[in-house]
């Protein structure tokens, strides 16, 4: 997907809000995985606000967060509504801080997102500790956790005494398995489907003091403000010893309500705000772009190229229907949903 910046400016300037800029990011050698995630997060407005709050003109010492804040500040306060920026400082800092990204090879956008959120959270936690804010022996909550963190509860029920044991775990994004011709809602139901523990996999029940058959399932105990859904499109195939792309058709709705929640979680509606899309046939040979919803306008960011797209064209990123084959497919890979106030 390419774009023409002058065309975007000519056709959209009157409709797009004057307070928003739409700037492409230059690719510094297979850095589309970073550009796509940076654009998606920029249009997650609670995240953007917190990053911009971290901006200071004199940055010492330099960090990934300060480099990101500097980039977002340029994007927000540029005198140009359309055009390009060079995220040179951010990419340099990324490659310096993590050897995985210190090369010119294509990387996985989800791995980058996971690293970025956890790295910034760790940085903020260390800053709190050094400032003497909070108990150093307790996990520190940061604005990363306030925005992206949800809680899963793993429920195991003994089929003999019916005692239920629960164990909670936090998440910043959910990775869900895919099946052909399903929906995001169905994939989430499969994620939380009940599993029976029997034969050699029996569960040791503390109430019964013995191994018993049991059922277990995952449910969402706490919903995040921004729900990041990672669609597991890359599967390792033992027979060929490499990962292959699952281009399954999985429609993603503009509005999402999670049903696989525990009883104490109130109903929450989410709106789709950004999608990181993988283009190509494999994890190391593809390309990433992002589509975002900005003030009810859908835009595509393909590195330095930006264009407005009709809403109905989003369907082309659902994947391929069963029986249809193609070497180059453009499929939704990471979905960002924001909760309604």
> What sign has the CA pseudo-torsion 157, 158, 163, 169?
negative
Q: What is the pTM of this model?
A: 0.90
How far apart, in Å, do the first and last CA atoms of the chain sit? 34
Annotation says 205 is catalytic: no
Indicate if 287 belongs to the active site: yes
Q: Which residues pair with 22 in a beta bridge?
A: 82
Give residue 59's pLDDT: 65
Q: Rounded to the nearest 5°, which phi and psi values hold at 219?
A: -135, 155
Q: Identify the active-site residue in 44, 287, 297, 312.
A: 287
The one catalytic residue in 32, 187, 205, 331 is 32
Architecture in CATH for domain 5-12+22-130+141-339? Alpha-Beta Complex (3.90)
| Distance in angstroms (rounded) separating the CA atoms of residues 313 and 258 | 25
pLDDT confidence of residue 326: 60
Give the Å distances, CA to CA, from 248 to 178, 183, 331: 7, 10, 8
Parts of the chain with a pLDDT under 70 = 1-14, 58-61, 133-138, 260, 263, 323-328
The first and second tokens of residue 305, run together, are 């190229």
Predicted local confidence at residue 84, as pLDDT:
95
61 preceded by a cis bond (ω within 30 of 0): yes
CA angle 3–35–174, rounded 5-degree value: 115
Instruction: Looking at 156-292, list the stretches that DSSP marks H as alpha helix, in order from N- to C-terminal side.
Output: 184-191
Residue 310 has a pLDDT of: 93
User: Which tokens in the block code for residue 334?
Assistant: 């990471």
Residue 7 has a pLDDT of 61
Could you give the C-alpha distances from 251 to 41, 224, 313, in angstroms and in order?
22, 22, 12
d(CA 242, CA 217): 30
User: Could you check whether the bond before residue 176 is cis, i.e. omega within 30 degrees of 0?
Assistant: no
């Amino acid at each position: 997907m390419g774009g023409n910046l002058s065309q975007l400016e000519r056709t959209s300037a009157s409709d797009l809000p004057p307070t928003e800029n739409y700037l492409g990011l230059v690719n510094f050698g297979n850095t589309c995985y970073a550009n796509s995630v940076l654009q998606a997060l920029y249009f997650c407005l609670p995240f953007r606000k917190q990053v911009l709050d971290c901006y200071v003109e004199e940055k010492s010492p330099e960090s990934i967060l300060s480099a990101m804040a500097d980039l977002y500040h340029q994007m927000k306060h540029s005198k140009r509504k359309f055009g390009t920026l060079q995220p040179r400082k951010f990419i340099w800092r990324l490659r310096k801080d993590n050897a995985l990204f210190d090369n010119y090879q294509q990387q996985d956008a989800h791995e980058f997102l996971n690293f970025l959120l956890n790295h910034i959270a760790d940085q903020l936690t260390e800053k709190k500790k050094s400032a003497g804010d909070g108990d150093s022996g307790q996990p520190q909550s940061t604005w990363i956790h306030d925005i992206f963190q949800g809680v899963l509860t793993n429920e195991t029920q003994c089929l003999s005494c019916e005692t239920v044991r629960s164990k909670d775990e936090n998440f910043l994004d959910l990775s869900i398995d895919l099946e052909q011709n399903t929906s995001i809602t169905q994939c989430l139901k499969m994620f939380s489907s009940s599993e029976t523990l029997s034969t050699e996999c029996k569960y040791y029940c503390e109430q019964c003091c013995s191994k018993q058959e049991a059922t277990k399932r995952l449910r969402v105990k706490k919903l995040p403000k921004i729900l990041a859904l990672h669609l597991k499109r890359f599967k390792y195939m033992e027979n060929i010893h490499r990962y292959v792309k699952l281009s399954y058709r999985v429609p993603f709705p503009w509005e999402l309500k999670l049903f696989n929640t525990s009883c104490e979680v109130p109903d929450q509606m989410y709106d789709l705000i950004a999608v990181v899309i993988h283009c190509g046939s494999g994890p190391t040979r593809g390309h990433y772009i992002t589509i975002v919803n900005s003030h009810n306008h859908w835009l595509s960011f393909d590195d330095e190229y930006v264009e407005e797209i009709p809403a109905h064209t989003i369907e082309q990123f659902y994947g391929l229907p069963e029986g249809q084959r193609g070497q180059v497919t453009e499929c939704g890979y990471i979905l960002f949903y924001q909760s309604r106030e």
